[in-house]
Homo-oligomer: A and B are copies of this chain.
Amino acid sequence: MKPPIIIINFKAYENSFGNSALELSKKIEKLSKEYSVEIILSVPATMIYRISNEVDLPIYAQHVDAVPLGAHTGAVLPEMIKDAGAKGTLINHSEKRLRADEIDDIIKRLKALNLESILCVDRYELVYPFSLLRPNAILIEPPELIGTGISVSKAKPEVITRAVDEIRKTNGVYLIAGAGITSGEDVYKAIKLGAQGIGVASAVMKAKEPEKVVEDFIINALKAMS
């Protein structure tokens, strides 16, 4: 993982799986190479194997369960996503929250497996406490803005600046901003406010031409970093 970090959460839309997801991933792969910017794709559990086999980008799971290997019907576990080709996973997304003890268990287990973790939080007050559990990055997303198209960069810039202040109390954990990020300008602002990257979902997944949106994000991320 290296800044600017761009993570695209495929979620569970109609085009989040199957051939359309694969095609979208390939288009993003092309942009990633063209601009030499790493782009993380967080895809449904059923798609990790397929996409990571055909696309040269870091593929993440969207969630892993905290239970150990064993009699756990329906569990998606760190060992399984690694085997399927994932390089890491989102943890504690607002649509799939975990308890703090589960988060600690999962991060330790991911580290032992050499998998990366992006830990989601909904408020700056949790940034420093959760950074102490040593994920690779923390993604802050005010849940009330997720999916709205009203970006955290514009509507709640203080969430980013306070989160940046908090993350600076520790070392080696990136701070990523998300929620409502829609335009290149949102991306530019988030990074200028101190974030080392951005997280996005609907703005890409629901776009008519997602590759144009991603390209605009890349260009603005690079501009903000330079």
Residue positions of A touching B, CB distance < 8 A: 9, 11-14, 16-18, 42, 44-50, 61-63, 67, 69-77, 79-81, 83-84, 90, 93-101, 103-104, 121-123, 125-126, 128-130, 132-133, 146-147, 201-202
Looking across the interface, which residue of chain B has its beta carbon closest to that of A14?
B69
Q: What are 25 A-B contacts with C-beta separation under 8 Å?
A: A11-B71, A12-B67, A14-B69, A14-B79, A17-B80, A17-B84, A44-B45, A44-B75, A44-B77, A49-B49, A61-B74, A62-B73, A62-B74, A71-B147, A72-B95, A73-B93, A74-B76, A74-B95, A75-B95, A76-B76, A98-B99, A99-B100, A100-B130, A104-B125, A104-B126
Q: Give complex CA distance A81, B130 in Å.
A: 30
Asked if A12 meets B123 with Cβ closer than 8 Å, knowing A46-B84, A79-B17, A129-B100, the reply is no
CB distance from A10 to the nearest CB of B (A): 9
B11 adjacent to A72 (CB under 8 Å):
yes
Residues in B neighbouring A97, C-beta threshold 8 A: 99, 101
Q: Give complex CA distance A45, B61 in Å.
A: 12
Q: Give complex CA distance A129, B169 in Å.
A: 13
Residues in B neighbouring A16, C-beta threshold 8 A: 80
Asked if A12 meets B75 with Cβ closer than 8 Å, knowing A46-B83, A49-B50, A130-B129, the reply is yes
